[in-house]
Amino acid sequence: MNVKTSQHIADTLCEKIKQKSCICLGFDPVIEQIPDFLKQRANIHTILSTFFDLMLEALHDKIAMIKFQSADFEYFGVEGMKALANCLQKTKDAGILRLLDVKRGDIGRSSDAYANAYLSPTRQLTNDVQRNEFEADAITISPYLGSDSLESFFTAAKTYNKGLFVLLKTSNPGAPLIQDIENTQGSVSTQLAKWLHTQCETDKGKSGFSRIGVVVGATHSHAADFRKLLPHSFFLMPGLGAQGGSTHTVKQCMTPQQEGVIAPVSRALLYPETNTSSAKAYQSSIQQAFNSLYKDIL
> Helical H runs in the chain?
9-19, 44-59, 70-74, 77-93, 108-119, 151-160, 176-179, 188-200, 225-229, 247-252, 267-270, 279-297
Please report, for residues 96, 132, 153, 168, 294, the alpha-carbon distance to residue 114 in angstroms, rounded to integers and kept in the order given: 23, 13, 8, 20, 34
> How far apart are the C-alpha atoms of 50 and 223, rounded to whole Å?
37
Catalytic (active site) residue 82: no
The CA distance from 158 to 160, in Å, is 6
Q: Which of 90, 103, 158, 204 is catalytic?
A: 103
Phi, psi at 97, each rounded to 5°: -70, 145
Taking the C-alpha atoms of residue 94 and residue 138, their distance in angstroms, rounded to an integer, is 16
Backbone phi, psi, residue 136, to 5°: -125, 165
CB 95 within 8 A of CB 2: yes
Residues serving a catalytic function are 103
